[in-house]
Amino acid sequence: MTAKEQKSRGTRKVMQGTVVSASANKTITVEVERLTQHPLYRKTIRIRKKFYAHDENNEAQVGDKVEIMGTRPLSKKKCWRLIGITEKAPQE
């Protein structure tokens, strides 16, 4: 997607995470981790959340670092789509 196309579509939320499952057809599960402060104790804690994303070409594998973007609802739980793979998982 070009920069011009992204501008015309407005600002959409973009997140980076790690693929934890790619077993479904054209769907990946991405775990996004963020740091936040506890409201009372002010300790920094890690929050992890899983998102279902649409992967049209089944190109992402488990362990890959990916970038996802918000989109219209594609199914009951899937409202994100894969933009690209930023880092491939090491092959064993």
pLDDT at 26: 96
Judged against a pLDDT cut of 90, whether residue 92 lies above it is answered with no
Q: What is the pLDDT of residues 6-45, one digit of tens each?
A: 556 678 999 999 999 999 999 999 999 999 999 999 999 9
What total of structural domains would you count in the chain? Answer: 1
| CATH number for 47 | 2.40.50.140
Residue 4 belongs to a domain: no
**2 found inside a domain:** no
Q: Which domain holds residue 30?
A: 10-87
pTM given for the model = 0.84
Q: What is the pLDDT of residue 5?
A: 61
- Determine, yes or no, domain membership for 81: yes
Concatenated DSSP letters for the chain?
A: --HHHHHHT----EEEEEEEE--STTEEEEEEEEEEE-TTT--EEEEEEEEEEE-TT----TT-EEEEEE-S--SSSEEEEEEEEEEPPPP-
Instruction: Return the pLDDT at 10.
Output: 75
Is 43 contained in some domain?
yes
